[in-house]
Every structure is written in structure tokens, then in C-alpha cells.
Amino acid sequence: MTLKAHEFDRIVEKYGFTVRDTGDRHAYLWYEGHLVVRTKRSHVKGKDLPFSHQIRQQLHLNEQQMSGAIDCTFTLDHYLAHLRQRGILPPRSLS
């Protein structure tokens, strides 16, 4: 699966990542003060991003989930539940 720059930007904005531009665009997902996911992309425009496979892996998504993230069917709630299931986020407390 290939990923375009605008698709990457839409995903990190939708999921609430903090973005910082340097030589690349770095995206960080913070949860309760802890960094849980980070990824980056180059500043290419209109082309497929290099290393799309690694970006998908850094987001902890399979190809089907990545397609859902791109077309907005894999919501933030789905993403957080997925990260909890994989042990990246702690389980929700009942209190």
C-alpha cells in the first residue's frame, strides 16, 4: 500500500498527533503525558511517500486498518482500542 503526503497529514490530524516540521514532518501521539506512537514523513508533494510500509508499521496498523484510516472508516476510537489491544496503551480504568 502506498501513502500520499496529504493522506498522512489527514491521518495524524484526525488522530490528534502533535506535528513538528524539520527536514521531515514528525508526528507524535501523546497519551496521558507519555509518548506512545511516533512516525515521520518526508516533504514530498503529490507523489507516493517513500517508506509507506514503515509508516504503517510505526502507526501499528495492518493494511486493512490503514485503508480505513485513509478513508475515515477507522476512527480515533477504533485506533485507541486497537492500541490498547496491542498493549501500546494501558487498558481503560473503571473509575
**Taking all residues of the chain, what is their mean pLDDT, rounded to a whole number?**
91
Residue type for position 63: E
Stated pTM of the model: 0.87
Residues whose CB is less than 8 angstroms from the CB of residue 7 and which lie 6 or more positions away in sequence, other chains included: 70
Higher-confidence residue of 95 and 9: namely: 9
- Summarised one tens digit per residue, pLDDT across range 14-33 is 999 999 999 899 999 998 88
Tell me which DSSP letter residue 69 carries: H
Give the confidence band of 73 by pLDDT, cuts at 50, 70, 90.
very high
DSSP secondary structure letter of residue 79: H
pLDDT reported for residue 70: 93
